[in-house]
Amino acid sequence: MQKILVSSCLLGELVRYDGKNKHIENKLLNSWIENNRVMSFCPEVSGGLPVPRIAAEIIGGDGNNVLAGSATVVDKAGNNVTDEFLSGAQQALSLCEKHNITIAILSKRSPSCGNKLIYDGSFNNQLREGAGVTAALLQQNGIRVFNQSELEDAARYIDEQIK
Ligand code: SF4
């Protein structure tokens, strides 16, 4: 049965920048876990960043711009963490390719995992349209990325693939 890549923080792992998680309780997600379909991954930790870490945002665009080299990821203290974000994204893609994963459930609004909205780089809690670095790389490679509010859409997509 095909695996689903899921942000580790949604599964309760304490990997967020603040040392916490974003655990969600959901019947669909639980059924995928019970069926051994879920592969947990945190791109920022895999990219070499510690827990806890200073919050980061994308400056000058979204994840697609970071991948194209026209935007950077910088933490609130001014450290450039673009390389770590790119490494995490590349590792996520490699994992998907290795396991033929074509669907991911990633945590919304994250500069790595956000699929539709991200913070705008001002560190003022302002959102803009766009994907995080990992979400963008997966999307560019044909992997469908949903967030935790779109689990029913994800389930429909999985059903369509099986037909
Ligand atoms: S990088 Fe993704 S998986 Fe890791 S803590 Fe942030 S949102 Fe969660």
Boundaries of every domain in the chain? 4-162
Q: Residues 90-111: pLDDT tens digits?
A: 999 999 999 999 999 999 999 9
- In degrees rounded to 5, what are phi and psi of residue 129? -70, 145
Q: Residues 109-119: pLDDT tens digits?
A: 999 999 999 99
Mean pLDDT, rounded, of the chain: 97
Q: What is the pLDDT of residue 96?
A: 98
How far does residue 39's CA lie from ligand 1's centre (Å)? 14
How far does residue 41's CA lie from ligand 1's centre (Å)? 8
**For residue 128, what are the β-bridge partners?**
118
Residue 2, pLDDT > 90, answer no
Q: Residues 26-41: pLDDT tens digits?
A: 999 999 999 999 999 9
How far does residue 136's CA lie from ligand 1's centre (Å)? 14
- Is 9 near ligand 1, meaning CB less than 6 Å away? yes
Which pair of structure tokens corresponds to residue 41? 């991954």
Which pair of structure tokens corresponds to residue 50? 């510690």
Q: Which of 44, 53, 145 to mutate to test the pocket of ligand 1 (most atoms within 8 A of CB)?
A: 44
